[in-house]
Amino acid sequence: MENCIFCKIIKGEIPCHKVYEDENCLAFLDINPVSSGHTLLIPKKHHKMLVDTPDELLAVLMIKVKKLMRIIKTAVNCDYVVLSVIGIDVPHFHIHLIPRFYNDGLANFWSTKKYDEGEAEKVTEKIKEILL
Ligand code: ZN
């Protein structure tokens, strides 16, 4: 992809703080981190979103995520690392790995709600209907 910022990072046209690289993927520090050590893992081949990414590559990426979570946790001495896949900012599939502390004061990513009467059953049926 010509105008994809992540493809340019992969090609070395834009610098990054690279933490890991192999034939399938690249991991580098997010330029606007939520916390120190906030890392992005991206496939080297351009896939717009998670749903566009081949299963075999997703499996490989998730194994890298598991390793990177442990490494980042040790490196920044945080309490845990959260994953986030949003997919609406840069149109090149990427996984955020965000170091967190139990008392870091960061908000949760979203607020919650309660289901209205019968809503949970309807949504459950709808999802199951499409799955079949
Ligand atoms: Zn790209």
pLDDT tier for residue 109 given thresholds of 50, 70 and 90: low
What are the structural domain ranges in the chain? 5-105
pTM above 0.85, yes or no: yes
Buried b (16+ CB within 10 A) or exposed e, 13-42: eeebeebeeeeebbbbebeeebbebbbbbb
For residue 110, pLDDT beyond 80:
no
Other beta carbons within 10 angstroms of residue 4's beta carbon come to 16
| 17 catalytic per annotation | no
Q: Calculate how far, in angstroms, residue 48's C-alpha sits from the geometric centre of ligand 1.
A: 7
Tens-digit pLDDT profile for residues 70-105? 999 999 999 999 999 987 889 999 999 999 999 998
Choose, from 38, 47, 92, 94, the residue flagged as catalytic.
Answer: 94
CATH of domain 5-105: 3.30.428.10
- pLDDT tens for 9-64 read 999 999 999 999 999 999 999 999 999 999 999 999 999 999 999 999 999 999 99
- Ligand 1 centroid to Cα of residue 47, in Å, is 7
Which pLDDT band holds residue 106 (cuts at 50, 70, 90)?
Answer: confident
CA of 10 to the centre of ligand 1 (A): 8
> To which H or E segment does residue 42 belong?
strand 39-43
Question: What local confidence, expressed as pLDDT, does residue 131 receive?
Answer: 84
Interval between CA 120 and ligand 1 midpoint (Å): 37
- In terms of pLDDT, which residue wins out, 7 or 86? 7
